[in-house]
Structure 1
Amino acid sequence: MTGVHGQVLGHVVRRSVEAYSDQKAQEDMNQFFAQHQLPGWAVAGIALYAIFFAVALASIRYTIGDVIATLMMVETPKTETITTISEPAKSADPDAPLEKEDYLLDTETVTIRHEPVTKTGRSTMRHMVKHAGSFSRWRGLSVSFVYHLCVGAVLSLVPRHQPLLQGAVSTLATVMFSRIHMTWTHVLISMPSEKTWFRRMPSRKMQRNVLLPSAVYAAAQQLTIYMPMLLAVVLGLHRVNHQQLVHEFTKADRVVYAVKLGACLLTAAFVALTVLLPASVTLTRIEASMLPEEDEALVPFDRTFDGKVVPAIVGGTGCVSFVDAWRTVDRKVRFRIVKIYAQLFTMQTIIVILGMIGLAAFAVGIKHIQSGH
């Protein structure tokens, strides 16, 4: 459901713990402020500025990358079948033979497929606000925070210089807290409930159905992260520092460096589209197939997945299978999901650029004020 950025909160928790325990990082920060002699109001302004843009980025990521994308993954557009019955036209010729009383009726059947609610991000947002309230764009935020806090807390116990161990522990933590993740999905795709999310947690028996999909999803996340990192090591990018790039590299060297960096980014994008996206959609749809009957879905949603779900009461698993969860996704839906993630990436990039420009302007303003004194 959450894609590459889905573990942002967990990553923040892990890095915060590491930064707090890193004495060298604290000394470097203190040395920076001592050298520049920034006044207290300037430090407070920079902190508030950073917090503002961090909150803006997190809000956009959550609304688009989690809430809207999840609804797109599970929606089944409504279809209506209209049958019209018409009598054969009577002849105006008075000498025409009399028609039999049991004449055949002309019937015509037309199937109408309505436009999906999640056709665009804007239409999805309007639907959410209309049926779930103005704060629906942040629905499920509390359970999301708890889930990523739990995963991040487990990962914070692993040394950051052991990436393979971190990947294995991340996969294990994702599987461990899969019940909370499934609860998060149920909260996102259902109408507002008077029950707290803790009371809506599925049983441990239901959790068994998502252990494998959760492990595959977590492994896909790690593959998306470490494949481009491995390629960067093979290409020697890890040996290049800022000093070399700015002062020692020629124009040709910088072009080669940019090509290698672009190859790493393309590798990440390719793995995300071909491995991570199917794993994320599959996990979300399996979790959605186990939405309790008493919970009303926020968007049109076929709980049977074209008849693929066999209820547990008749001996089935009560959820869609791993393979059918992906096969039952329409190509148009897949395209919309890719499109919404591309929009999210573009919006976040623009915000980061604007934030850096604003921070630079703020720094120039402080410098001018200090030089004026």
Structure 2
Amino acid sequence: MSAITHAVVRRGVDITVQHFSKADNNDGDEKEPEQLPGYAAFILVSTITVFVIAAFLIQYSYGMVVATLAIVEDPQAGHYLAVNTVDTDPTANDDDINKTTPRNAVDDNTSFAIPKPITSKIRTAIRHLQSRGGRLAPFRGFGLFLLWSITRGIIGGIFAAILTPLGLNNYAFHLFPRALAEIALATVELAWVHVVISEPSTKSMWKRIPGFSSWKKFAPVVTLRAVASQLTQILPLVLGQLMHVFDIRDGKIYPVPAEGENGARNVALGMLAIFGLSLVLTVLVDIPATVTMIRVGASMLPEEDESIVPFDRTFGGRTTNALVGGSGKIGMLDAWKTFTWPARVRLVKLLAKVLAVALAIGALAGAVVSLEVALLGGGKLGKLFPNAPEKGGVNVW
């Protein structure tokens, strides 16, 4: 969905800039747009940068770390921290927490009750992480994530450089190298999953990355996720071209001018259809593939690593330790089938909350930037960006 969002945002900026630029020059075609001092652009760029960083950090901690914990957590498995005590008594210190009787502990005079999942609330999950790993625990695995992202870009660029001379310039072939890069980096992603779901460890980041034997086991499910992710991006792009919302050439999105009496309405309907298709593919294709990948990775957690949330390492007896002749991991189909409906609902609710927070940040960013434009540019965006919009398109990848 990122490519589609990027295209929609860029198109909106282009239209806005064109509108304001025309308003600036309505006194004559020869009039040069008024330039503002450099500090105006600096303030605007700084504001946008702050909001982008804030949105990314929230997406990482809530949409990736907490979501990963929600995917593997099984409230019925094991002995863990009493969630109600942490949630209802914010003044409790670590010693009090450690002395708390687990909610799933029972005696002869008590009936067993399934405890409330730690990831049922974002606040509870964040507090749980911080109580176990410190204030920066919600950003655990960030080093591995950066390594994976940068290396994926490099490997994807190498694959793309190989394909381009062969005449494979279609955007589908540009997205394909990204999937190959993700498959090649399967063990790095596996290490990220293990860091996120396990208790803090003294092992270095490099020692958490397993060897080739683990790659052979994990690569197939990464392939599934990578293909699902690329299809979620490619199909909406195809729809956008078919509906003439934008054109894609040489790996860039070019807005198609809204012509005719109903041009603007048709573009708006096209964007709505693209967003709807992206949402459906994300829910029905991308999320199930990601859930399957994470649960398979969780089943491969080393024996010496303790999980930070309760989950059954055997997934109901479906996995057998490799030391006794088993595969040492759960199968892809079992990984999805053992993800119960309550857990699916919990994950969807969590992702909906993350989306709501992201939209709120986007709305706030838009309001702040609009205010700055009004104050610094006299309400005319063309003064801040006199040469926009650019003639080139927006990179798809």
Q: TM-score range by the shorter chain?
A: 0.7 to 0.9
CA distance in 2, matches of 1:212, 1:343: 31
What is the one-letter code of the residue matched to 1:329?
A: F
What is the one-letter code of the residue matched to 2:375?
A: G
Query: Structure 1's 301 and 350: CA in aligned 2 closer, same or farther, altered over 3 A?
Result: same
State TM-score, norm by structure 1. 0.78
Tell me, yes or no, if structure 1 residue 283 matches structure 2 residue 287. Answer: no
Corresponding residue number in structure 1 for 2:118: 117
CA distance in 2, matches of 1:278, 1:367: 46
Query: Structure 1's 117 and 5: CA in aligned 2 closer, same or farther, altered over 3 A?
Result: farther
CA distance in 2, matches of 1:261, 1:48: 29
Tell me, yes or no, if structure 1 residue 132 matches structure 2 residue 133. Answer: yes
Corresponding residue number in structure 2 for 1:151: 152
Corresponding residue number in structure 1 for 2:47: 49
Q: Give runs of aligned pairs for residues 65-214 of structure 1, distance below 5 A.
A: 65-78=63-76, 84=108, 110-157=111-158, 158=160, 162-214=170-222
CA distance in 2, matches of 1:43, 1:338: 39
Which secondary structure state, in structure 2, belongs to the residue aligned with residue 317 of structure 1? coil
Contact 1:74 1:285 in 2 (8 A): yes
Unaligned 5+ segments in structure 2 are 7-31, 78-103, 248-252, 384-397
Offset from partner CA, 1:58-85 (integer Å, 9 cap, x none): 1011011110000000011136595749
Q: Which segment is superposed worse, 214-223 or 200-209?
A: 200-209
Corresponding residue number in structure 2 for 1:230: 238
Unaligned 5+ segments in structure 1 are 12-33, 86-108
Q: Residue 360 of structure 2: which of 336, 339, 350 is its match?
A: 350
Residue 284 of structure 1, CA deviation: 0.4
Residue 340 of structure 1, CA deviation: 1.6
Q: Give runs of aligned pairs for residues 265-344 of structure 1, distance below 5 A.
A: 265-344=275-354
Contact 1:81 1:112 in 2 (8 A): no
Query: Structure 1's 295 and 258: CA in aligned 2 closer, same or farther, altered over 3 A?
Result: same
Corresponding residue number in structure 1 for 2:38: 40
What is the one-letter code of the residue matched to 1:154?
A: I
What is the one-letter code of the residue matched to 1:120?
A: K
Which secondary structure state, in structure 2, belongs to the residue aligned with residue 156 of structure 1? helix
What is the one-letter code of the residue matched to 1:124?
A: A
State TM-score, norm by structure 2. 0.73
CA distance in 1, matches of 2:41, 2:105: 64
Residue 170 of structure 1, CA deviation: 1.1
What is the one-letter code of the residue matched to 1:360?
A: S
Q: In the comparison of the two structures, how many residue pairs are matched? A: 317
Query: Could you tell me the percent identity over the aligned residues?
Result: 28
Corresponding residue number in structure 1 for 2:226: 218
CA distance in 1, matches of 2:171, 2:255: 23
Offset from partner CA, 1:63-118 (integer Å, 9 cap, x none): 11110000000011136595749xxxxxxxxxxxxxxxxxxxxxxx9542111111
Residue 353 of structure 1, CA deviation: 2.1
What is the one-letter code of the residue matched to 1:115?
A: K
CA distance in 2, matches of 1:36, 1:127: 54
Query: Structure 1's 136 and 233: CA in aligned 2 closer, same or farther, altered over 3 A?
Result: same
Which secondary structure state, in structure 1, belongs to the residue aligned with residue 113 of structure 2? strand
Which secondary structure state, in structure 2, belongs to the residue aligned with residue 112 of structure 1? coil
Please tell me whether Structure 1 or Structure 2 has the larger radius of gyration of its CA atoms.
Answer: 1
CA distance in 2, matches of 1:186, 1:242: 42
CA distance in 1, matches of 2:213, 2:254: 51
Residue 337 of structure 1, CA deviation: 1.2
What is the one-letter code of the residue matched to 1:76?
A: D
CA distance in 2, matches of 1:56, 1:287: 29
Which secondary structure state, in structure 2, belongs to the residue aligned with residue 199 of structure 1? helix
What is the one-letter code of the residue matched to 1:274?
A: L
Residue 249 of structure 1, CA deviation: 4.2
What is the one-letter code of the residue matched to 1:51?
A: T
Which secondary structure state, in structure 2, belongs to the residue aligned with residue 134 of structure 1? coil
Q: Residue 377 of structure 2: which of 333, 349, 367 is its match?
A: 367
